[in-house]
Structure 1
Amino acid sequence: MNSLDAPGEPDLVHAPAGTVVGRRDGRTRRFLGIPYAQPPTGVRRFAAPVPRGRFTEPYDASRHGPTSQRVPLFATTTVPEPSVAGDDVLNLGVVAPAQDDDRGPFPVLVWIHGGGFLAGSQASPWYDGRAFARDGVVCVTVGYRLGVDGFAVLDDVPTNLGLRDLLLALDWVQENIGAFGGDPDRVTVAGQSAGGAAVLALLSSPAGRGRFHRAVSLSGGFFEADAVRDFLQELGDRLGVPATRAGFGGCSVERLQRGILDLRDEKGDDGTLSLGPFVGDDILPVPVADGLAGHGQEVPLLLGATGDEFDSGTGPGAAARAAGTRLTDILFRAACPRTAAARRDAAGTWLYSFEWPSPVLCGAAHCVDLPYFFDVLDAPGVARALGPNPPQELATSMHADLVAFVGGQEPAWARASGTPGDPAREYGRPGAALVADTTGVFDPVVRPGPGPMSEAAGAC
C-alpha cells in the first residue's frame, strides 16, 4: 500500500455530493482526495472556483488527491509535505469517527495548511486527523490554489482565488459533512502559518459570515501582500513572459513555482510573503486588522504563536533571541494582541504561546507545535524535528484544549482584550509546568530568549 493510501477496509458514504468510498481502520474512517470544485485548468485556471457536480459513480477516496504544491518551498522542510501530481487540486480529506459511534453528530475542524501561500500540502502526515476522530471530532483538510495561480493580481482575473477556493470548500462542508457524521452547525476553521493568516482573513471578510462558527489561528498574522504587481513583473521578466493572464497561463504551475523559488534565491531573501491575500476586493475590502473589528465578532477565536518561530537555532537565530529584536515578534506575535484589541467586544478571544524548545531546532521553532496540537508524535518526520523524546503529556494537554474548543467549550483561561498583561496559556516553557496560565506573554516589550533549555538541548 502506498504511504498516501488510507489503511483498512472499504467504507461507503452517501452524501449530497454523491457516493464516496473511503477506508475504515478500526474506529477511524478516512475519505481522502474528494474534489469540491472542478479542476482549475484551461479556462478555469485563473477563474473563480466552480463547484463540482454530483458524482455519477462511486468516488474512490482511498488516497490523497493532487496537491497545488508542485515544488516544496525549501529543499528540507520541518513539516513533511508530499507533492501529489494531478489537476484535481481543489480537493479535501475527511477523517471521521466510526459511523456507529453514538456520540455524534460531531463537531468539525476544517484545517488549512501553511506554506507561505506558495507551497504546503494537505497530504502531510502531520495533519492526519486520527486523534481528532478518536476524540469525537470530524477533521477536514483542504487543498487550495497557491502562488501565482492562487494569489496573483492580474487584469481580468478575480483576486484572492485561493481564499475563494477555501470559501467554496467551507460551502461543501456545510452541504455534505452531515453524511460523514459531522455537525454543520459546529464548524471550526483552523490553520497554521499561511493557513492561520487565511483564517484571520476569512474571519475579517464579509464573505466568511455563516460559513463557520469558531476559528483557530496558529502562527498566523496579517500577511497581506503588497507590491504584488512589481513582484509579478520581476517573475515574468525572469521567465521571459508578460506578467499577464495569458503570459502566466502559458506556463505550467511547476514552472511558475520554480521561477518564484529561483527569484527568491537570486534576490537573497526567502520571498515567502511575495504573494498572499489581496486587500481591496469583495473578499477583503479593508485590511485584515480593520476587518476583524467589523466582521466575525460572533465567532470565538483561539490564536497564538510559538516562542521563536523563525528565530530559533544557533548563530543569527540565537543572537536575535538574545537581543529581543525578533522576526518572530514582528510577523507573528504582534498580531495576537492586535487581533484581541480589534475583537474586544467579540464573542471571545483567547491567546496561547508555545514555548517548548526542540532540541533539534534549538528553540520553539515555527511548526513544531503542530504534532502536539494534532497529537501525532509518532508521525513520520516528528523525531527528526522534535528529537527522540517529545513529551506526550504536552501533546495530550494541547490536543485536549483544542478538542474542547472545537467542541464548543470556553477555554479554561481568561479572555484577552489586547491590553498589556493579557492572560494567555503557555505550553512547555522551560522551568515551568508543561501547561501554565500566565499573563503578559504578548506584551510589546523586549523579551529575553527562551531561557535555559533542557539537558537534551544542550548541544544547541
Structure 2
Amino acid sequence: MTEAPVVHTASGPVRGFWRDAGTPEASAAFLGIPFAQAPVGDRRFAAPVPPEPWTEVRDALEYGATALRRDPGETLIPEPPIPGNATLNVNVFTPSPGGDETLPVLVWIHGGGYTEGSPASPWYDGSRFNRDGVVTVSISYRLGFDGFGYIEGAPHNRGVRDWIAGLEWVQQNIAAFGGDPGRVTIGGQSAGGGAVLTLLSMPAAQHLFHAAMAISPALADVPADSARERGERLAGILGVEADVAGFRSVSEGRVLKVQSQALPARKGLGLLTGLIEDGLPWGPMIDGELVTRPAVDALRAGVGADKPLLIGATDDEFTMIADQAPWAVRFVPAGVLLRAGLRDRRVRRAYLTANRAQRAKGPAAMVGRFVTDHVFRSLVARVAEARSGADAETWAYAFRWVSPTKGWSCHCLDVPFWFDGLDRVRVDALAGPRPPQSLADEMHGAAVSFLSSGAPGWPAWRTDPGTSREFGGDGPTVTTTAYDSALALV
C-alpha cells in the first residue's frame, strides 16, 4: 500500500493516492477523472462528448475544474470553485482499487439549486463509506443556463445529459475500482436529490443504476414554455438571438453574471414566496424527449418501479430564511402571509390547523415551514404515494435534530450525518461544536445498509401508509405521522 494506486479506465490509466494507509480506514482517492470533453467552443451547449483516450498514466491527485465559477462566500455546505475548462469529471473513493472486490457503489450528485454547488466539497469525501465497504463516486455537471436553459438549436437538458454520461462512465469503469456495476445507487441532496428523482423517473436512464437515495429533494420540472420564455428573456438582456450562435457569442462569465435577471429579483420572504410562484429558475425541463413528463407523474405510471428508494427531508429546510424577515412581518397573521401561496381557503385552514405548534413560533416561522412543506416535505409524501404500487419498496425518513447554531432542523444539516463526517471542515458552523455522533452512527449505518442490501432497516412506507423513520426527534423512532403536517398540500 506504499505505492500510489494505478487503475486502467476505458480512456486510459489514472494514478490516485492513498489516505490513512495502514489503518482500517485506508482508502484510495482518484480525483478529477474526465468522463467527457471540456464543454467549450463548439461543444458548449452541446451534449457531452466522451473524452479523448490517453496512454500515459494520468495523475488524478486533485479535484478537477468545476462548473461553479465564482466563490459563493459562506454557504451551508462548503463547495469550492475550481477554475478550468474540463468541468465534466468524476471523483472516485475506493477501499479496493484494481482489486477483485465487487462492492456496492454510491454515485453522489451535489446540490445547489441547479445553479451552484461543487463535487469538490470535503463533505462529499467517501472515505467513511469506503471504511464500510462502499465505493463512492461524485460527479459534476453543467449548471444554470449553460446546463439547463432553453436554446433554439441546442439539445435540451444538457445538465441531465451530463448526469447520464457520468453514470455511463461508472457502468463502464467502476469494476476497475472495486465496485459492482450491478449495484449502483444514485444519491444526492437538495437539487442533487431532485436529480435523483428526475433520473428515477426517466425511461432513458433506467439501465444505469439499481437504487436511489433522495435527500431533501427539490424538483425543477420546468415546463417547456416557461423555459423558452426565460431563455428569450435572457437573450434580450444579453442583446443576442435566442439560439446557439447567439448565446455562444457571449462569454460564459457574462451569462453567469446576468442569468438571475431572467426571473424577478426577490429578497427575504419574497425569496420564499418566489419558490412557490416561480419555481427554481433553472433545472430539468419537461422537453418531451429526454424528460417526458413531471417526475411524480412518471413514477405514478410505474417508471422506476423496480428500484428501491430512500427519501426524506428535514423538518425546517428553509425556515431559517424567515429569520431574515422584516421585523414588522412578524406581527402579520400567518393566515394572511400564506394567502399568496395557499389561495384555497379550506386548504389554508387545514394546513394551519395541522401546524399549530409551528404557528406558535410566529408568522415568519410559519411561512418558512410552508415553503419547506411545499418544496420538500409534501414531495416526499407525493413520491411515496405515487410509488405505492411499485415492485420495489420506498423508505421514508424525517430528520428532526435541531441545529444549536441555526435554531432549526435546517437545509443541509443532515448531510454530514449521512456521510459520518461530523469532524469535517465547517460542520461546526452548521451543527455546533458537539453534534451527536450516535445520530451519525444511526444515519450512516442506515445508508450503508440501504446501499448494500436495498433496505435501510425500518418498515417501508406502504407497510402502514406514512411509515417513516424519525432521526433526532423526541418521539417514536418509527411513526406513521412524520409527514402529517404536509398532507394538506399533497
**Following TM superposition, by how much is the alpha carbon of 1:337 offset from its aligned partner in structure 2, in angstroms?**
1.3
Contact 1:337 1:417 in 2 (8 A): no
Note the 1:1-400 alignment, pairs <5 A. 10-25=4-19, 26=21, 27-72=26-71, 74-99=72-97, 104-226=101-223, 227-261=226-260, 266-268=265-267, 270=271, 273-293=280-300, 294-312=302-320, 314=323, 316=325, 319-322=363-366, 326-346=370-390, 347-400=392-445
Number of residue pairs aligned between Structure 1 and Structure 2: 434
Contact 2:98 2:176 in 1 (8 A): no
Letter in 1 for 2:315: G
Q: Aligned partners of 1:164, 1:361: CA distance in 2, in Å?
A: 36
Q: Aligned partners of 2:420, 2:409: CA distance in 1, in Å?
A: 17
| Percent of aligned pairs with the same amino acid | 43
Helix, strand or coil: the match of 1:187?
A: strand
Deviations 1:219-253 (A, max 9, x none): 11432124222222333333333333222212222
| Pairing 1:441–2:482 present | yes
Partner of 1:410: 455
**Following TM superposition, by how much is the alpha carbon of 1:415 offset from its aligned partner in structure 2, in angstroms?**
1.2
Q: Aligned partners of 1:110, 1:18: CA distance in 2, in Å?
A: 21
Distance change (3 Å), C-alpha of 1:99 and 1:263: closer
Q: Aligned partners of 1:379, 1:70: CA distance in 2, in Å?
A: 23
**Following TM superposition, by how much is the alpha carbon of 1:282 offset from its aligned partner in structure 2, in angstroms?**
2.1
Partner of 1:4: none
Q: Aligned partners of 2:404, 2:462: CA distance in 1, in Å?
A: 34
Partner of 1:5: none
Partner of 2:338: none
Deviations 1:10-53 (A, max 9, x none): 22112223211011122110000000011111111111111123
Aligned CA RMSD, in angstroms, stands at 2.3
TM-score under structure 2 normalisation? 0.83
Distance change (3 Å), C-alpha of 1:129 and 1:376: same
Question: Structure 1 regions of 5+ residues with no counterpart?
Answer: 1-7, 448-460
Distance change (3 Å), C-alpha of 1:324 and 1:267: closer
Question: Structure 2 regions of 5+ residues with no counterpart?
Answer: 326-360
Partner of 1:456: none
Contact 1:34 1:92 in 2 (8 A): yes
Q: Aligned partners of 1:445, 1:117: CA distance in 2, in Å?
A: 25
Distance change (3 Å), C-alpha of 1:162 and 1:318: farther
Q: Aligned partners of 2:165, 2:384: CA distance in 1, in Å?
A: 27
Contact 1:341 1:418 in 2 (8 A): no
Deviations 1:113-144 (A, max 9, x none): 00111110000011011101111100000000
**Following TM superposition, by how much is the alpha carbon of 1:417 offset from its aligned partner in structure 2, in angstroms?**
3.5
Q: Aligned partners of 1:425, 1:446: CA distance in 2, in Å?
A: 17
**Following TM superposition, by how much is the alpha carbon of 1:100 offset from its aligned partner in structure 2, in angstroms?**
8.9
The structure with the greater share of residues assigned to helix is 2
Letter in 2 for 1:79: I
Deviations 1:358-414 (A, max 9, x none): 111110111111011011111111111111111111111100100110012423211
**Following TM superposition, by how much is the alpha carbon of 1:446 offset from its aligned partner in structure 2, in angstroms?**
7.9
Distance change (3 Å), C-alpha of 1:322 and 1:47: closer
